[in-house]
Each structure stands twice: as C-alpha cells, then as structure tokens.
Amino acid sequence: MKQCTEELENTGLVLLNRPASALDLSQAALALRWGAIRPDSSKIKPYAAVIGEEELVILVHPQNTIQQISADDLEAIYTGRMRIWKTAAPANEIQVLVYPKGEETQQIFENIFLNGSSGRAQITSLVPDPAAMRETIAKNPGAIGFLPRRWVDSTVKTLPVENLDPAQLRHPILALSQSEPGGQEKEWLVCLQEMMSE
C-alpha cells in the first residue's frame, strides 16, 4: 500500500483499523476487506473490486509433531469437544486461540469450519491480530490458531487440512467504496492489484 501511495503524486494514506463488522464507508473513500461481504438489504450496496487473494492457514507450534489436521478435529477443538492433542507429542492440553468476534479472519475460519457460528471452546485465548496470533503460537507448544498466509514465518508450523479443497481456504481481498472509484483512487487500486498479482 505504501509503495502505491508513494508512486502517485499528491496522494496520502490514512489507515483506520476496524473489525469487518464495524465497516462504515461513510468514514473513508475506500475500505479493504478480506473475504466476501454479506448482502444486507437495508444498506446501500457498495462498489466492490477484487484486488487480490489471501489464504487462511492453520498453525501450531513447531515442536508439535502433528503433520496435518482434519476439518472434524478443528471443529472438535473449537467447540471444546477435543481438549488434548490426540496424536501429537508432547501430549499437551490444546490452547485454543481466537480473534475478537467480527474480525474478518475469525469470520472466514468460522464460515469454513464451524458453519458460520462462533462455536467457542470453553477455554480460549483471545488475540487482537495476526501478529499476536503468530507470537502466541510460537511461545506455546500446545497452541493452535489461524491467520492469513502472508503472516507465516519460521516461528510457527502450518498444518494442511485433510480432505479439504485448498480453494476453500482462499478468499478475495476486496476494495469497497460507496461508488466506483475514479482518478487517483482508481490508479491506487490498479497499483495494488498489480502488486498483489506479482
């Protein structure tokens, strides 16, 4: 984003970080959102342009010996029916990590694995953002969580999900506005699309 802003003359960027549930297009010319927007008949339909795509990944601590996980086990973990790692060493209690309700990464996970419900386990740890999710998992051998792939580094281990089409984990990054952007806003979006396609 910064690079595209710097390339355009007389353009500035002010970032407002809001949960997806608090998205308000009257406060900004453009809003970026990961994941599809839900139709709402009571509101004006925003203009939406796909500027890229991001993949949701499941994470554990690198010392966890589990190599893959099933969608059923993820549901059992996040609904509290599974509390101890079954096949992983060390045999730790599972530390379930979630984002705040309404956060777009949380919404995507719930839509894929929990049929859209929060399904919170009795014991969960709340993290505010992907950086905190990664850091918490890196420090806790029993932890499990999820984040956008671009946040993955060597401090965490990704788990493939058994029998799940990988396309179900990829979701669009959308630019939203009250009407179709023109001028510098349009140029900025085109720049972002080009950067994300590289």
Indicate if 109 and 146 belong to the same structural domain: yes
- Give me the domain span that covers residue 161: 54-169
- Number of domains the chain contains: 2
For 22-48, how does the pLDDT look when each residue is reduced to its tens digit (9 = 90+)?
666 677 778 888 887 665 544 556 788
The CATH number of whichever domain residue 118 belongs to comes to 3.40.190.10
How far is Cα 162 from Cα 160, in angstroms, rounded to an integer? 6
**3 state SS of 29:** coil
Indicate if 25 and 111 belong to the same structural domain: no
Indicate if 95 and 26 belong to the same structural domain: no
For 154-188, how does the pLDDT look when each residue is reduced to its tens digit (9 = 90+)?
999 999 999 899 999 999 988 888 888 888 888 88
104-113 and 71-78 helices, crossing angle to 10°: 120
Indicate if 6 and 83 belong to the same structural domain: no
Indicate if 26 and 46 belong to the same structural domain: yes
Indicate if 68 and 143 belong to the same structural domain: yes
How far is Cα 136 from Cα 80, in angstroms, rounded to an integer? 19
Indicate if 188 and 95 belong to the same structural domain: no
